[in-house]
Amino acid sequence: MRPFYARHSLLAWCLAVGVATLHAPPASALPPLRQWTFERPSYGALDRNIADHFLVNQNGVWHLFYTNLSMPLDPAVYIGHAVSTDLINWTEHAPAIVASPGSPDWRSRGVWAPMVLAKPGGGWVMAYTGVSSTSAQRIGFLTSNDLETWTPFNDSLPFEPDSIRYAWTATAYSNARDPHLVLQNGVWHMLYCARRVDGAPAIGHAESADLVSWTHDDPLLVQGGGWSSPDMESPAVTFFGGKTYLYWTQFNNVVAQGDSLLDDWAAKPVTILPAGFSAPELTPIGNTLLYSRRRLSPCNTFQTYIWFDTLDTNTYPFQILPPHPLTGFTVLSGTAFLSQPSFGDGQADRGEIPADPAGLYWLSSREYLPEPSPSYTCGEEHGADQTGLVASDPFVLNGDSVAVEIQGANSPDSAYVLLYDECTQTTITRFTGSSETLTPMHTSVGNARGRTVSWRIADLLTRPGGWIGIDNLGERASAGLADPPVTPTVAWVAPAGGENLQRAHTFRIRYNVSIGGGPVDSLVVYLTDPQSSVLLRQIKPSVGSTNILWTTPDTLLYTARLRMVAYAHSGAWGCATSNSFAIGASTGVDPSRLGGLLRVSYDASGARLEGRVAQLQEDGVLEVFDLRGRRVAVPWHGHDGQSFSLVIGRDLAGQRLAPGVYFARLHQADLVWQTKFVQFR
């Protein structure tokens, strides 16, 4: 790809939602610490200008060689080198080559578009573009034994196109850039961006046995008319699945499918590669292709980024396999986090106080820019009225502190990040915003090490300024921190699942508890629902026991479960939840099949209970209970399939329902539906 210089440049840009590992300096082999940077597979930064690139995978490590073009704070033009194991977290290595006035004139003004290939017998060769003081382009070569140290090869005689076939001169701007090498039967074939002598855009072609002496061939392919047609930039070829794919940039990233390098490409149909901008590369990975290319910032045409996606190669033309939009997290409710994480700094783009994210991506309930693309507007946002709740995948807490960069509303009850104990459904710690800029915060959680936990991120506000932004969320470890305590292990024997127990009747529950790394202070059994969203304390067995008589509740439940929590002295609590069983389900009918429903959602009004009763003559009653089991509200009655959607505003005494956790139960004849909800204000 030909990048324009200084005044009129067009050019560069990491959730998984990515999940990375950090390593502190512990005295022993501390397990990995979890960190969520919300980056996706990509390379670049918001203040950099990255152009053509090439990827090499060596022993499971990705080596990215890229063109770094000048920016106000980084005027150097060089071929950079970065390495990664996941295409998200990158380590910069020394540049392969830098353009400078002291270099040979043919590459003194710029070095672009690296392409790297293994040499027969070992080592590597890099082909790249050099730009002279007259703006004429030539192609040079570097060699390396380790992909780190690069030495110019035949530097005094760079490749120049044949001026009989191609429009090229040493004294003015001329095309000879974006080289791509193919080694077949001992012959080096080189493709490059060129112009035929009549001005038609072309993929140039030359052959050599030694990368020194070249035979100039006619263009491999010509597309378009004369000088007014755009160049065929970044030409490359990939051999995959028994086919040959020739691709380049001309208006779009395009590809043609053939049977060999020297196929009749003019006769092959051309299709557009999806979601591109320029400089495509197709890299085989097993039975798929990694699709990398440049993407353009919708806010600044001086900023482009290297983007990575996987292609679905089961059919042709290829399509992108959609990545998980928020890797490692599940949206529990609302819309605020559906198109997250968000790219760039929307606040800065709108002329507001910058949020200042650490990388390219962060999590924001306000912003809406899923990727750098002209499909989106610079600074596009959801707005403050979107609400939502997301939860991370559960993980074992190994560190003794947690940290986050957070911004947005200062509202601990309605806009927060909290660390959630998966066994007891309690909050270990909580953060909330306090400024418009992402601000580092941290707190100690050493007493919870070894527990299974998750992150919960919520925005339940609709007022102006009511949003939350998150970056660099994760665990930390103090110097010399030892391994976390071992969690007790709980295993259920009975109920085994599928039983139909009698109501208000004794049943002997059976279990095994392995103490693990230390003593257990107590065991507690809870009754819970299929999603484990409600915990109702039932009984406290003796430590060391393996069974106890439990009296079932006098309530019909079609899908009940028991959870036992082993509270270890170390703080590393363990738990297990039994398989589902029924209580009093003599009819064998699932209440959901009768048409009944109860669920909770969250909107601008707060927690909203929605549901309906079954098609029965008996009245259904919606009741609300607090954590102590006291009935605090009876907001609805109905029958014969009637439905409701309401916000619980007042209790039985007519007072405003206090913030907190509540249980809603819809009861009709012997049928019961239940759920848990949080009243925020």
441 touches 474 (CB < 8 A): no
Can you give the CATH number for the domain in which 233 is found? 2.115.10.20
68-72, 192-196, 419-423, 471-475 — which is least confidently predicted?
68-72
pTM (2 d.p.): 0.80
Strand, coil or helix: 595? coil
- How high is the pLDDT of residue 653? 85
Q: Are residues 269 and 175 in the same domain?
A: yes
What CA dihedral angle connects 206, 208, 212 and 215, to 10 degrees?
Answer: -50
- How high is the pLDDT of residue 528? 87
126 touches 150 (CB < 8 A): yes
Give the sheet arrangement for strand 489-494, strand by strand.
489-494, 506-514, 547-551
Write down which residue in 533, 562, 583 finishes a domain: 583
* Residue predicted with more confidence, 412 or 13: 412
**Tally of CB atoms within 10 A around 605:** 12
- How high is the pLDDT of residue 533? 66
The answer to whether residue 271 is domain-embedded is yes
Distance CA 53, CA 116 (A): 10
Can you give the CATH number for the domain in which 627 is found? 2.60.40.3080
Q: CA quadruple 476, 480, 481, 482: dihedral positive or negative? A: positive
* 148 pLDDT above the threshold of 50: yes
**Tally of CB atoms within 10 A around 345:** 22
Q: Are residues 494 and 345 in the same domain?
A: no
Distance CA 331, CA 323 (A): 15
Q: Are residues 371 and 304 in the same domain?
A: no
Q: Are residues 569 and 606 in the same domain?
A: no
Q: DSSP characters for 595-642?
A: T-EEEEEEETTEEEEEEE--S-SSPEEEEEE-TTS-EEEEEEEE-TT-
The predicted model gives 168-184 an average pLDDT of 97
Q: Are residues 455 and 526 in the same domain?
A: no
Q: What is the pLDDT of residues 391-442, one digit of tens each?
A: 999 999 999 999 999 999 999 999 999 999 999 989 999 999 999 999 999 9
Distance CA 219, CA 203 (A): 5
Q: What is the pLDDT of residues 274-294, one digit of tens each?
A: 988 899 999 999 999 999 999
Lookup result for tokens 């004429």: 136
The residues pairing with 565 across neighbouring beta strands, listed in sequence order, are 524, 575
* Residue predicted with more confidence, 506 or 324: 506
Lookup result for tokens 């959602």: 601
Q: What is the pLDDT of residues 218-246, one digit of tens each?
A: 999 999 888 999 999 999 999 999 999 99
Element spanning 421, H or E: strand 415-421
- How high is the pLDDT of residue 517? 65
The residues pairing with 566 across neighbouring beta strands, listed in sequence order, are 523, 574
Write down which residue in 272, 288, 313 finishes a domain: 313
Can you give the CATH number for the domain in which 467 is found? 2.60.120
The answer to whether residue 482 is domain-embedded is no
Sorting pLDDT into bands at 50, 70 and 90, what band is 680?
low
Among candidate residues 628, 637, 678, 636, the one with its CA nearest the CA of residue 657: 678
Q: Are residues 283 and 155 in the same domain?
A: yes
The answer to whether residue 21 is domain-embedded is no
**pLDDT, the chain, mean:** 89
Distance CA 235, CA 479 (A): 51
C-alpha atoms less than 13 angstroms from C-alpha of 209 in its C-beta half-sphere: 0
Q: What is the pLDDT of residues 531-584, one digit of tens each?
A: 666 788 999 999 999 999 999 998 777 788 999 999 998 888 999 999 999 888
Q: Are residues 351 and 450 in the same domain?
A: yes
DSSP letter at 347 equals: H
Q: Are residues 497 and 470 in the same domain?
A: no
Distance CA 284, CA 290 (A): 6
DSSP letter at 199 equals: S
Distance CA 518, CA 496 (A): 28
Sorting pLDDT into bands at 50, 70 and 90, what band is 22?
very low
Radius of gyration of the chain (CA): 32
* 10 pLDDT above the threshold of 50: no
- How high is the pLDDT of residue 604? 57
Q: CA quadruple 263, 268, 272, 274: dihedral positive or negative? A: negative
Q: What is the pLDDT of residues 120-141, one digit of tens each?
A: 999 999 999 999 999 999 999 9
Distance CA 430, CA 433 (A): 11
The answer to whether residue 484 is domain-embedded is no
225-234, 288-297, 454-463, 509-518 — which is least confidently predicted?
509-518
**Tally of CB atoms within 10 A around 7:** 5
Element spanning 675, H or E: strand 671-679
Q: Are residues 419 and 462 in the same domain?
A: yes
DSSP letter at 367 equals: B
When divided into structural domains, the chain yields a total of 4
Sorting pLDDT into bands at 50, 70 and 90, what band is 591?
low
Q: Are residues 472 and 375 in the same domain?
A: yes
- How high is the pLDDT of residue 11? 24
| Token reading at 190 | 């080189």
Cis bond leading into 412, ω under 30°? no
* Residue predicted with more confidence, 299 or 341: 341
Q: What is the pLDDT of residues 641-660, one digit of tens each?
A: 888 888 888 888 888 888 77
Cis bond leading into 495, ω under 30°? yes
- How high is the pLDDT of residue 218? 97
* Residue predicted with more confidence, 158 or 376: 158
Strand, coil or helix: 265? helix
Instruction: Mention every residue, 6+ apart, whose C-beta is less than 8 A from residue 224.
Output: 200, 201, 230, 232, 250
Among candidate residues 537, 583, 591, 536, the one with its CA nearest the CA of residue 557: 583
% of residues, the chain, pLDDT over 70 = 92
Cis bond leading into 530, ω under 30°? no
Distance CA 505, CA 541 (A): 18
The answer to whether residue 6 is domain-embedded is no
- E strands present in 313-377: 319-320, 329-334, 342-343, 361-364
Distances (CA, A) of 442 to 399, 474, 537, 588: 12, 10, 32, 51
* 1 pLDDT above the threshold of 70: no
Residue environment code for 324-338, b if the CB has 16+ CB neighbours within 10 A, otherwise e? ebbbbbebebbebbe
- Domain around 532: 489-583
Can you give the CATH number for the domain in which 514 is found? 2.60.40.10
The predicted model gives 208-215 an average pLDDT of 98
Write down which residue in 288, 313, 338 finishes a domain: 313
Distance CA 206, CA 370 (A): 42
Q: DSSP characters for 46-115?
A: TT--EEEEEEEEETTEEEEEEEE--BTTB---EEEEEEESSSSS-EEEEEEEE--TTS-GGGSSEEEEEE
* 20 pLDDT above the threshold of 90: no
Give the per-residue SS3 of 146-196: CCCCCEEECCCCCECCCCCCECCCCCCCECCEEEEEEEECCEEEEEEEEEE
The three-point CA angle 607-613-618 to 5° equals 135
Strand, coil or helix: 228? coil
Lookup result for tokens 């127990």: 501
Q: What is the β-pairing status of strands 329-334 and 61-68?
A: unpaired
The answer to whether residue 191 is domain-embedded is yes
The answer to whether residue 382 is domain-embedded is yes
Distance CA 400, CA 444 (A): 6
Q: Are residues 113 and 217 in the same domain?
A: yes
Residue environment code for 124-146, b if the CB has 16+ CB neighbours within 10 A, otherwise e? bbbbbbbbbeeebbbbbbbbbee
Lookup result for tokens 């027969």: 120
- How high is the pLDDT of residue 17? 35
% of residues, the chain, pLDDT over 90 = 67
Q: Are residues 573 and 596 in the same domain?
A: no
Sorting pLDDT into bands at 50, 70 and 90, what band is 5?
very low
Q: What is the pLDDT of residues 313-338, one digit of tens each?
A: 999 999 999 887 788 998 888 889 98
Instruction: Mention every residue, 6+ apart, whose C-beta is less than 8 A from residue 242.
Output: none
- Please give the backbone phi and psi of residue 447, each rounded to the nearest 5 degrees, phi first: -75, -5
266 touches 260 (CB < 8 A): no
Distance CA 681, CA 660 (A): 9
The answer to whether residue 49 is domain-embedded is no
Sorting pLDDT into bands at 50, 70 and 90, what band is 586?
low
